[in-house]
Amino acid sequence: MQSITSARRSALAALAAFAMLAAPGLVRAQLRLDITQGVRDAVPIAVVPFGGQGEDARTDVAAVVAGDLRMSGRFAPLERRDLVARPSAGPEIRFEDWRLLNADFIVVGRVEPDGAALTVTVELFNVRTGAALLGERLPSTQRDLRATAHRIADLVFERLTGLRGAFATRIAYVAVDGRPPAQRYRLIVADADGYDPRTILESSMPVMSPAWSPDGQNLAYVSFEGGASAVYVQRLSSGERTRVSARSGINGAPAWSPDGRRLALTLSRDENLDIYILDLGTQTLTRVTTDSSIDTEPEWAPDGRSLYFTSDRAGSAQVYQVGLDGDRQVRRVTFTGGYNARPRLSPDGKSLAMVTLDRGAYRIGVLDLVSRSLWVITDSRQDESPSFAPNGALIIYATRERGRGALAIASSDGSFRQRLSSDQGDVRDPAWSPFPPGG
């Protein structure tokens, strides 16, 4: 019986794989997560396949939840083949079975039709004590089931860590294919787990530096499609966009103010790069830095009253902070190492992720703004473009792997790392979205 079921399962999987191969127009290339450095104390958790879902379910809720929890680095979901039973509600759980498997927690649930829609029920238990930790019913539809699964992962994560989950978020990144000099550049938006990548811009000229508006509705980015750089703001729902800066010279490094009404950006009006603020409503441009060096890569402080940025005014690239009230005083922020660039602030405003030169290699460093200590959290030779998840727990960044650009995710303390494998050519320049509104 067991073997028949599993044979049927693999036949279905093969069929599904064939269907995907046979319809290249429908299938979009995807990113896939591979854990490269795990945490020893990841919490073992059983996520049981949800009741009401056959093996052929289009969205396997339990698989999505387990994938999210694994991606957080804090949980080690049991392998599905090790799951000894398939309870779909609290009373069906025999906790002693799960204790033998050394699972600390168990997630069960079911998907039930509710008219044309669906209702998803989820329960979370402590395996040692049998205590119920979570019980929730979520309305959904076949189309939204994956989003509901991410929401369930958020609930479980929040209940067990006290941190808000960021699984129902998205990432933007740039994919490049073709060989130099004839390359194609695509700006892509995908779910945070790499699922459902959608190309929102395609060009034969470089596209770079995507930046999410605070409400997650718009992306600002740099495109060279006219031969020179320009900054665009594109509405994700409609694809409609506005060219907000195409001044002579460089237009780069857009960064949204916390209120979403202004963009800090880099312009080269005096033959060198300086930071300006563009008011998107009034189109007023205000100059922020005036140094004759390269000043670029602005990042807003959460209170909107200062900017962090990269400058080589003292010789090498370092991170500085400039006040926006009154006298525009500039203060140097980094002193460790010969190269610190592209600062990105953690959501709590307490630390700064950046590219740092570490023993001859470009890696991601996290500077604690209180203790002033800098931790290097990656170990490759060319890591860049760090971007915090909106809950601050993870950092997505670009790295190189076998000569190609790849994306990777690290926990912000560096204890956990994973790679987002891609079949989309060279991928780079990732930016993690804010929390979805109302979530």
Instruction: Kindly list the residues in this chain that would bind other proteins in the complex (CB under 8 A).
Output: 24-25, 28, 179-184, 186, 198-206, 208-209, 223-229, 234, 238-239, 241, 249-250, 252-253, 266, 268, 271-273, 294, 296-297, 310, 312, 317, 339, 341-342, 355, 362, 381-382, 384-385, 400, 403, 428-429
Q: Which of 425, 393, 422, 424 is nearest to 409 (CA)?
A: 393
CB of 390 to other proteins, least distance (A): 22
Q: Smallest gap, in angstroms, from Cβ of residue 272 to other proteins?
A: 7
Instruction: Kindly state the smallest distance separating residue 115's Cβ from other proteins, in Å.
Output: 33
- Taking alpha carbons only, the member of 66, 69, 71, 68 closest to residue 82 is 66
Secondary structure E strands in 184-338? 184-191, 198-203, 207-212, 218-223, 230-235, 241-245, 251-256, 262-267, 274-279, 285-287, 295-300, 306-314, 316-323, 330-332
d(CA 430, CA 182): 22
Residue whose token pair is 């915090």: 388
24-56: string of b/e by CB count within 10 Å (b at 16+)? eeeeebbbebebeeebeebeebbbbbbbbbeee
By beta-carbon proximity to other proteins, the closer residue of 193 and 429 is: 429
Residue 124 CB, shortest distance to other proteins, in Å, is 38
Which residue, 40 or 179, has its beta carbon nearer to other proteins?
A: 179
| Residue 68 vs 383, nearer CB to other proteins | 383
Q: Give the single-character DSSP code of 104.
A: S
Which phi and psi angles does 358 have, rounded to 5°?
-120, 110
Closest distance of CB 95 from other proteins, Å: 47
Nearer to other proteins, 164 or 198 (CB): 198
251 vs 346 by CB, closer to other proteins: 251
Smallest separation (angstroms) from other proteins to the CB of 268: 6
Q: Which is nearer to other proteins, 29 or 57 (CB)?
A: 29
**200's torsion region: left (phi>0), alpha (psi -120 to 50) or beta?**
alpha
